[in-house]
Structure formats: structure tokens, C-alpha cells
Amino acid sequence: MSSYSMTPETTTSTVSRHWWTSRRLMMIVFLIALIVASIALVGTPEETLLLALDGNNGHTQWSMPAPMGIGQRGIGIPTAVNGRLYVSVVTPPASNSLLPNYGWELRALDSASGARVWTFTPDPKQFGKVAAEITASFGAIVTQDTVYVTLVALDYQVWLVALDVQTGQVKWAHSDLYFNDSGFRGLAGLILNYAQYSKYTVVGDKVFALLRAEDDDDPDAPTTTTALTLIALNAQTGETLWSKPITLDNSKADKVVETMVATETDVYLSIDKTYVYDAATGDLKQTEDAALVFITSNTIYQQHELTLTATDRATGQQRWQYTPPANTGCMRFTVNEQTLYAFCARGEDDSVKLDDAAKKLPANWTNFLLALDVQTGAERWRKPIAENLFTVVGQVPATYGDRVVVVGGALGELRVVALTSSGDEAWSYHLERGYDLAVSDGNRVFVTDTRPRWRGWLAWLNPAWR
């Protein structure tokens, strides 16, 4: 019978061997975890998200991923009205499709939670195949009972579609909506116009729309002009109330960002010049040099060349006139109760004019956000923003309460920034590759960003990512 006793040396050797084995195991596990984490961080694809940011601090309240992969627009510009968010979404092609024919749909979301209320998917039998990314470039116009959207088909037929605000069902649709697909005006339609500068507008019980004339495709028609038709439609039924022909001078129109706005009494259409029509009859009241026109409840604002004027809607009396500093052009405007905000660019070269600036901003131009007093037109402050084209011509300032929201920063270093009425920064949110403008429902700010998935996983590490 043998016996074995543990000497102190044997005990020490055994413990040491077990410790080394455990240590090696821990190191192996750590290395595997490190490799997996590295693969996840480097190899994880990017995602495009619609973000809902808290208007008080800029923290993320909810997000909606785009169903499309990298390289696609994915999510269009949202419209926030009455607790709902209406947003265009580009959807993947069918799995059995030989060609990448992407789909498009309009989603109605609860703006507080992001929950989907309804989805509108156009019937291809009625509208044909939709040019998804172009259609996503146009925001919806929303009234109390109707959502109006623009559908651009692959055959270049353009539809104005009216949807029931509660269900998303089609109420009526009108074809031949005007869409310029060539030259700078075509670029403006795709990049600059959006809902603020669409080819239709809604006031009260009428929809005013700009259509292609029936003979617009006539090969014998002169190339120096374009035949258009301005129509008024019944907002509930789509019935035509009146129509007026317009001959567009293409040589002048190339230098104008097309706009259409209306009041209960007048329709303002800026194309090659500014036309003012009687809203009830369609009679032409007057024409003037082309101007950028935007309207509030009591004021008509017009920008002729570089000068901005404010006119009282009730009396027709000019309230004030603002001429920016030399070599400065202002291109985007938003008004709240106290302040008018505009994106402006100032150049050091006297030879650079506004028309050139609208096409390409030279490197020596300084971009800034301008704040004017709405009562007097006096300049309150200006805030410099990044030296890139997007920050001036690619967005419109969004306001809520006493704050204004802009997207600024060098490309690759974009930020959503909320400023107070005095121009001080309230909060900011870093964007990886943000695009499109920011909008607000009064409580939240909505913006789109494309970023690596891991940023969402590690958001707790960086307050600017929350």
C-alpha cells in the first residue's frame, strides 16, 4: 500500500500550473473577444437613420433605419404636422428583379414615438414604376385632412397625389405636374426645391399647381420657350376650377429658383419672372422681375436681386427693406414670431454675382446664418457656418419656440446646432454624413444621418452621440 503526501514544493508547482492554465485561457478568451470586436467595428456596415432629437438637449429620443443599403438616399425629407411625421422611404428591389428597380413609400409616423400609423405604396397599375430617389427628394405638404405628395415615374410622368390624412388612401391624383429635368433648374428641383419650392401649393379649399402643357413634347416647338399651364384644383375632389397658359422664357428661367406660394386672394409664381394671379378667377394681376417670394400670416417677403422687402398683406404698405452687405447673397429664409433667419454667403470678389453663387460658391466666400428683426428688418446677429455648398443652398433653417436649428460644419464634421434667439448655442449633435435639412415639430428636431452601426452601440460613451 502506497501513500502520497503533498510536499510544499509539490503544492506550489500544482497551484502555479493551474494559475498559468487559467491565465492562458483568459488571454485566449480576451484575444478572441478583441478579434470579434475588431471585426465588428471595422466590418459592420453603415446605416442610414431618421433621428428624432429632443428639442431641449439634442439627445436621441428614437430612430428609424432606412431599409436601403449604402449608396442609396434611403430616407427623404420629413414633414412634421399635428403630432405626425410624414417621410419618404426608398425600399429595396424585389429579390427576383434583374434590374435594381427600387421602390418608394410614404410613411406616417407618430412624431413622439416613431410608431408607424400608415403606409402609402403607389399602385404601379395607376402610377407606373416610381423613380424612387427622385420622388424621395420632394417633401409632402400636409393640411388638416389631406397629405399631398409628388410622384415622379420612370417614364417622366409626374403626379400630384392627394391622400387621406387618417388612412393614407388615395383621394385623387392629377398627372402632368411640371418637373424640369435639365440644366440648373433641374438641379434646383432635385436638390434645392423640396416642399418649400415645389410646383404646387395649397391654400384653403384650393390647390394651385404648375403643369406641363399638352404640346410640351412637340418636336417642332421652339427650344427657347416652354409651354406650361397654371391650374387651380378643388382640394377635396381634384376637380379643375380654372387654368391659365404660361410661356416660359428659358433664357431667363435658368437664373431663377422656381417658387410658388399663395394667399387666399393671390397666387405668386416665380419662374422666368414673377406672375401674380387672382386666386379665385386665375386672372393675371401683374408681372414683375423675378423674385423669391415667401409669405406668412400677415407679411409678404420678396427678394429682388439682393434686396429683401417686407410688405403688409392687409394694407400693401412696405414695412421695411434690407440690403445685405456688398457681395452678399441670401438664399434660404424662415420666419418665426420675432426673427427672420436666412442663409447667406459673402464673397471677397466683386465680380461674383448671386446667380453664380447659386450654382457654385467660390472658396473665398464666407457662409453665415443671418437673423433679422421681423418688425423692423434690423440685423440682430449673424453666425458663421462652414465653407461648403450644402450649408447655404441645401437646407432651410428650422425654428421651434425661440430656437433655430441649422446643419453646419466642414464636410465630415457636420453638426446639428440649435441656437437661441440671441445666437447662443443651446446644444449640438454630431453627424457622420448628414444630408437634407432638419425639421421640427415644436418639441423634437428630425434629421437624417448615415453612420457606422457601432456608433449607436457606443453612444453612451460620448454625449454628442446620444
Closest by CA to 148, choosing from 175, 117, 173, 112, is 173
Note the pLDDT tens digit of each residue in 400-432.
998 999 887 665 667 888 999 999 999 988 887
Q: How confident is the model at residue 345 (pLDDT cuts 50, 70, 90)?
A: confident
Highest mean pLDDT among 35-49, 234-248, 343-357: 234-248
Alpha carbon distance 85, 107 (integer Å): 8
Q: Are 51 and 454 in contact (CB under 8 A)?
A: no
pLDDT value for 159: 93
Number of neighbours of residue 353 by Cβ within 10 angstroms: 15
- Beta strand 292-295 pairing with 299-304: antiparallel
Asked whether residue 140 carries a pLDDT value surpassing 60, the answer given is yes
Average pLDDT over residues 35-53: 70
Alpha carbon distance 324, 345 (integer Å): 10
Average pLDDT over residues 23-41: 65
Highest mean pLDDT among 150-164, 172-186, 202-216: 150-164
Residues of the chain above pLDDT 90, percent:
35
Question: Is residue 224 packed enough to be buried (19+ CB in 10 Å), middle (13-18) or exposed (0-12)?
Answer: exposed
- Which has the higher per-residue pLDDT, 358 or 85? 85
Strands (E), 235-273: 240-249, 259-262, 266-270
pLDDT value for 399: 92
Highest mean pLDDT among 142-146, 187-191, 393-397: 142-146
Asked whether residue 180 carries a pLDDT value surpassing 70, the answer given is no
Q: What residue segments make up the domains of the chain, in order of their start?
A: 176-290
Highest mean pLDDT among 49-58, 265-274, 294-303, 353-362: 49-58
Note the pLDDT tens digit of each residue in 280-299.
999 999 888 877 788 888 89
Lowest mean pLDDT among 69-83, 157-171, 177-191, 377-391: 177-191
Alpha carbon distance 404, 100 (integer Å): 39
Q: How confident is the model at residue 181 (pLDDT cuts 50, 70, 90)?
A: low
176-290 maps to CATH 1.20.58.340 = no
Backbone angles phi, psi at 355, to 5 degrees: -60, -40
Highest mean pLDDT among 221-225, 286-290, 353-357, 363-367: 286-290
Q: What is the mean pLDDT of the chain?
A: 78
Report helix, strand or coil for 50.
strand
This prediction's pTM: 0.80
